[in-house]
Amino acid sequence: MNVSLPSELREFVDGKVHEGAYSSTSEYVRELIRRDKDRQRLRQLLLDGAASPSAGDADAEFFATLRQRITPG
């Protein structure tokens, strides 16, 4: 796959590689794609949650019950 970038964007990506943040331009693009997939997945989870029926109030008692469930022994 080839991707054409305007010089300004190419310089930006090259800068990220030269800073040592990424080992190659391909790695940078792969990371952007992964982040976008994660963002889309999170968005869908939020939309699904907003469309689901309420499970009750998230009050102090609710959080105390959660703490009890995750506290060992």
How confident is the model over 22-48, as pLDDT tens digits?
Answer: 999 999 999 999 999 999 999 999 999
Instruction: Please state the pTM of the whole predicted model.
Output: 0.68
Q: Mean pLDDT across the chain, nearest whole number?
A: 94
* DSSP result, 18-33: HTTS-SSHHHHHHHHH
Query: How high is the pLDDT of residue 24?
Result: 95
Instruction: Using the predicted structure, report yes or no on whether residue 70 has a pLDDT greater than 80.
Output: yes
Alpha helices in 1-73 (DSSP H): 7-18, 25-51, 60-70
Q: What is the largest CA-CA distance in the chain?
A: 60
Percentage above 90 pLDDT, the chain: 85
